[in-house]
């Protein structure tokens, strides 16, 4: 004999299924959040690489200007244009006796 029991539900299975669905949705939303963070991070890395390349080029240009300013050929030509004379035996200190002024 079969016993028919209408309106009898298995609450344990319904509860487990609802927990599974909620946790699946939470994991899916968390995955989307992590993916967005990863994409933002990749864009930031590319942006920083471009900034680094520009900075390296600017640094190389500044070094080139510095080396051109401190080049010995440039310095000697600038001394000739300013009528400076290179003294091969400079006398910085002269030996003179000290004289007292009374």
User: Could you read off the pLDDT of 28-60 as tens digits, one per residue?
Assistant: 999 999 999 999 999 999 999 999 999 999 999
Residue 32 vs residues 35, 36, 100: alpha-carbon distances, Å? 5, 6, 93
5-35 pLDDT per residue, tens: 766 777 888 899 999 999 999 999 999 999 9
CA 43 to chain centre: 13
- In this structure, what DSSP letter does residue 89 have? S
pTM of the model as a whole: 0.51
Copy the structure tokens of residue 70. Answer: 């401190």
- Phi, psi angles (nearest 5°) of residue 90: -75, 145
């Amino acid at each position: 004999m079969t016993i028919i029991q209408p309106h009898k539900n298995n609450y344990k299975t319904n509860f487990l299924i609802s927990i599974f669905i909620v946790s699946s949705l939470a994991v899916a939303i968390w995955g989307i959040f992590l993916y967005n963070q990863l994409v933002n991070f990749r864009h930031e890395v590319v942006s920083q690489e471009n900034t680094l390349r520009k900075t390296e080029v600017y640094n190389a240009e500044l070094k080139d200007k510095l080396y051109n300013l401190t080049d010995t050929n440039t310095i000697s030509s600038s001394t000739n244009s300013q009528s400076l004379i290179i003294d091969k035996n400079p006398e910085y200190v002269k030996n003179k006796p000290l004289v007292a002024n009374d």
